[in-house]
Structure 1
Amino acid sequence: MSVLLHISASTRGDASHSRRVGRALVEALRHAADVRLVTRDLAREPVPHADAAYFDAMLMPQAERGASETAALTLSETLIEELESADALVIDTPMHNFTVPSVLKAWVDQVVRVGRTFNTTPNGKVGLLRDRPVFVVVACGGSVAASDTHTESDATTSTGSHRGQTDFITPYLRYVFATIGITDVRTLRLEALRRSEAEFAHAEAFSARWIAAQAAEFAKSH
């Protein structure tokens, strides 16, 4: 049985577009393959921001860590173990001021850890985790600039009818996950959700097609 880790970041509960589409994606993946679901709701149970004790313990050689340093890394170990055990990951999140919400950034700071999920070398950082698919659903109230660069794994519901803002979430998360060894990152960006009913309906239909395609591919590999 595969393990699917689902991380939600929106504070808007059932009113959240990212949560709704993220749940639909999770259900589609669960129907596509035999998976055990692990959930972490960062809005309801926020991960604390990394503090001085965390950074001091992280930068200390493991052999020199005492009880207090080990305790400072306990949550980080739990979150990393969740990620390590997952065969796929779903993240649904809103765009806050062009990038990730602080609750998601706090999670990133706990799992991107030198000596644990990546090593530093003369040639740069080397990830220590195995690759696996990461599905990211991003909800944006407005539109995103058409000139933003994306890969073939990224999709957007944009109709191209509005001047857009810059998307820092997609390249940021792609870079973060690559740092720890995960390069299979697939993003669905829900755009212009506050513009009109037509934009919303378009986003809903596009999302359904994207989810069906991802689930079909997931079924083949699991």
Structure 2
Amino acid sequence: AQARAVVEAVAQARPGRVVISTSGQIVDQPGSPLQATADSPIMTLIDGVTGSGVPTAVVAPRLYLENLLLPVVLDPARQEGVLRYPLPASFPVSWSSHLDVADVVTRLLTDASPTTGTVGVGHRPGLTGPDLAAAFSSHLGREVRFEGITPEAFGELITPLFGLAAAPVVELYQALNAQDGNTIAEDSSAQELLGLRPRPIEQWLEDLAVS
């Protein structure tokens, strides 16, 4: 209902351009089991707004670096030197931060001529667990190693924080673990389309004053 309401509002208001963020939902990999279904709210929104004829850009990040700031993830990295996350160590991800997404959205809203279509946001090539651990190690000034844990184990860690909302998080990581990676395509990336690169992980940690 909310998606349809937004579509109707855009069709009536006819703004100069619209930028939609998928917030990590995958909308640009047709045929993938991770692809949002055609009747999902995000696809209803994208298809409806795009169909209105208003120039529309879809910002498509993958996983947010801010996930790594959850106490159940960050505290062990600080105290034990172990960065635990529910993905295999070798699993590549086009990680991005909310700051990176904001940079892309700002550019899309203020460029002289609108960019339309999907704009992937995140690191290319994808970063693995050891890549993340190395950045945390450098920033925290201590050795940090990555440890992949099961989605179920992660669910047990986050349930006290998330409550019932932990269940869909576990399901997401179960689905991701069945894939070879979670990365954006080069030709539709912000790097290629806008010349914008995500912050290095160490810079992101510094920008957020993580200690």
TM-score, normalized by the shorter chain, greater than 0.5: no
* Higher strand proportion: 1
Shorter-chain TM-score tier: under 0.3
* Higher helix proportion: 2
TM-score by length of 2: 0.24
